[in-house]
Amino acid sequence: RGMSSVTIPPPACMLRPLEAPFRYLFGPGPSNVPPRVLAAGGRPIIGHMHSEMFGIMNDIKKGIQYAFQTSNNMTLAMSGSGHTAMECALFNIVEPGESVLVAINGIWGERVAEISERMGAKVHTLVKTPGGHFTNAEIEQALAKHKPVLFFLTHGESSAGLVHPVDGVGDICHKYNCLLLVDSVASLGAAPLLMDQQNIDILYTGSQKALNAPPGTAPISFSERACHKMFNRKAKPVSYLLDMTHLSNYWGNDGKPERTYHHTGPVSGFFALRESLAILAETVGAICVYFLLKDLRLPSVTTIAIPEGYNWKELLAYIMKHHRIEFTGGLGPSVGMLLRIGLMGYNCNKANAAMALAALEDALKQCRMSKA
The residue (of 82 and 170) whose beta carbon lies closer to ligand PMP is 82
Query: 70, exposed or middle or buried, with CB in 10 Å at 0-12, 13-18, 19+?
Result: buried
- Stretch of residues binding ligand PMP (CB under 6 A), selected from 54-62, 76-84, 91-99, 248-256: 76-84
The one among 83, 246, 340, 368 contacting ligand PMP by CB under 6 A: 83
Encoded one letter per residue, x for contact with ligand PMP by CB under 6 A and - for no contact, window 14-33 reads --------------xx----
Can residue 186 be called a binding residue for ligand PMP (CB under 6 A)? Answer: yes
Can residue 81 be called a binding residue for ligand PMP (CB under 6 A)? Answer: yes
The residue (of 56 and 112) whose beta carbon lies closer to ligand PMP is 112
Run of H or E including 26: none
Cα of 297 vs its chain's centroid, Å:
24
The residue of the chain with the least Cβ separation from ligand PMP equals: 82
The residue (of 185 and 319) whose beta carbon lies closer to ligand PMP is 185
**Rounded to the nearest whole angstrom, what is the least distance from the CB of residue 136 to ligand PMP in the complex?**
21
- Stretch of residues binding ligand PMP (CB under 6 A), selected from 1-9, 59-67, 81-89, 354-362: 81-89
For 282-293, b/e burial (b = at least 16 CB within 10 A) is eebbbeeebebe
What are the binding residues for substrate? 340
Phi-psi region for residue 371, left (φ > 0), alpha (ψ -120 to 50) or beta? Answer: alpha
Can residue 206 be called a binding residue for ligand PMP (CB under 6 A)? Answer: yes
Residues contacting ligand PMP: total by CB under 6 A: 14
User: For residue 369, which amino acid is it?
Assistant: M
What are the binding residues? 340
**E strands along the chain, which residues?**
74-79, 99-104, 122-127, 150-154, 156-157, 162-163, 179-183, 202-204, 217-222, 301-305, 338-342
Written as one string, the DSSP assignment of 79-133 is ES-HHHHHHHHHHHHPPTT-EEEEEESSHHHHHHHHHHHHTTPEEEEEE--TT--
Contacts (CB under 6 A) with ligand PMP, residues 133-172: 154, 156, 158
Contact positions vs ligand PMP (CB under 6 A): 28-29, 81-83, 108, 154, 156, 158, 183, 185-186, 206, 215
